Amino acid sequence: MGISLTIVHLAVLHVGLAVCRQAASGEPQSDTQSLSATELHNAGVRSLDKGDYRSAEAYFLAALQKWERAPATDPLSIASTLENLSAAYAGQARFSDAISVCRRAVDIRERAQGKDHADLAYALNRLGECYRRSGDSRAAEPLFRRARRIIEAHHGADQSKVAAILNNLALIYRDRKENQRAEQLLNQAVHILDENARSSDSTLATFLNNLAALYRSDGRLQEAEAQLRRAIDIWERTLGSEHPDVAAGLNNLGDLARLQSNYEVAEPLYHRALDIFERALGPVHPNVGTVLNNLGTLYYLTERFEKAEPLFGRALAIFEASHHEGPPFADILSNYSRVLRKLNRKPEARKLEKRAREVASRVAHEDLSDLTVHVSTLAKREPKANRKSIK
C-alpha cells in the first residue's frame, strides 16, 4: 500500500508544548499571551514546514482566537489562518475538520476579494484536496477545475501554482484508473518546475513521488524507483531526514522492493518510515497504520507469522479508532485474517474475513474499486512564494 502526496496551500519557531496544552484546554497559556496573532500564525507556519501538525494546530487556534477578538481584524488574515489550520487538520487525517475550516476561508475570500481572485483559487485548491483525501473525489474535481481556470486567467500567474493544481487533478484521474491522463498532467507539472529552475524544490519531489506511483501501477518498476530515489534525495536536502514526506518516500520505496521480492532491502525502509511517522505524527496516525500493514505483509510473505500478527492487529486498531472504513481498512482486515489462519486461529480469521467482505461491498457501492487505495501523509507543500506567512 503506497503513500501518495498531494499539494495544498501551506503557510510559512516552535514556542513549545505549552501551546499544545493550550489547544487541548481552550485556554491561552501565559507564555503565549504575550504573542500577537501574527506571531502565533507564523509560528504555526514554521511548525507546518517541519511536519509538526499538532503544534501547528495549536498555534493557529490561538491566532484565530486573537484575530477574532480584535476589533478591526482584516478578514483576509482570518482566512489565511483558517487555510493553514485546514492543512494542520489534514496532516492529522482529520478531514471533516479540515473541510469545515477551509470552506469558511473560501467564503471569506469570495466576499472580500471576489470570485476571480488568485488567492481564491489557492483556497479552492486546498478545499478540493481535503475533499479528495476524505474520499469524495466528485466534490473535489470541480473545485480543482475552477481553481485552474482562475489561475490560468491571470496574466503572469505563478506557474508553480498551476503545477500544484495539475498534480491534484492527476490524483483524481489516478483514483479513477485513468493513468495515461494522470501521467500527462504530472509530467506537465514536473516540466513547469524544471523550467522555472525549481529542480531542488520539495514540491517537485511530491510530483516525482506521485509519478512513481503511476509507473508502479503500470508495472514500470525501474522507472518508479528512479523517480522515488530522486524525490527522497530532494526531500532529505530541503526538509531534513525526519520529515513525514521522507517517510512517505521510504515507505513507497519499500513497496517497490517488496514487489520485486527484495525483502532484505524493503524491511529497513519500512522500519525507518515507521519510526519517522510515529515521532512526527504520533502512534495512531493512519500513515502509521499503513506502514504497519506493509511491514506485516512483508513478514507474512517471509513466513514470519508471529511477527506479522501484532502489526496487523495494531494497524486494525488504528483504522478502527479513526472510523476509517475505506479501502485501506478492508485490505488490513483481509491481511490480518490470512495471518490468523496461518497461526491456526480460524474462528478469529473467519470473523475478519466476513468484515472484509462487508467493507469491500460498501466500497464497491461507492465506486471505489481500488482496495489498496493510497494513503496521503498530507504534509502538503506549495512553493515558498505561496506560503501565507503574515508580515
Tens digit of each residue's pLDDT (9 = 90 or more) over 12-59: 222 333 333 344 333 334 456 778 999 999 999 998 887 788 899 999
Measured CA to CA, the distance from residue 167 to residue 47 in angstroms comes to 24
In degrees, rounded to 5, the angle at the alpha carbon of residue 90 between the alpha carbons of residues 130 and 228 is: 90
Q: What is the mean pLDDT of the chain?
A: 82
Measure the N-to-C terminal CA separation of the chain; round to a whole number of Å: 41
pLDDT surpassing 90 at residue 82: yes
Percent helix, strand, coil in the chain, to 5, is: 75, 0, 25
From the number of C-beta atoms within 10 Å of its C-beta (0-12, 13-18, 19+), residue 157 rates as middle
Tens digit of each residue's pLDDT (9 = 90 or more) over 201-227: 888 999 999 999 999 999 999 999 999
Query: Strand locations in the chain, DSSP E?
Result: none
For the chain, what is the largest distance between any 2 Cα atoms, rounded to a whole number of angstroms? Answer: 68
Measured CA to CA, the distance from residue 309 to residue 287 in angstroms comes to 18
pLDDT winner (highest mean) among 3-12, 18-27, 67-76, 357-366: 67-76
The number of residues in the chain equals 391
**Minimum mean pLDDT among 23-32, 84-93, 216-225, 281-290: which range?**
23-32
DSSP label at residue 134 = T
Measured CA to CA, the distance from residue 318 to residue 323 in angstroms comes to 9
Residue type at 75? P
Our CA dihedral for 388, 46, 168, 237, rounded to 10 degrees, sits at: 130
Q: What's the half-sphere exposure (Cβ side, CA atoms, 13 Å) at 118?
A: 13
Our CA dihedral for 378, 383, 385, 389, rounded to 10 degrees, sits at: 20
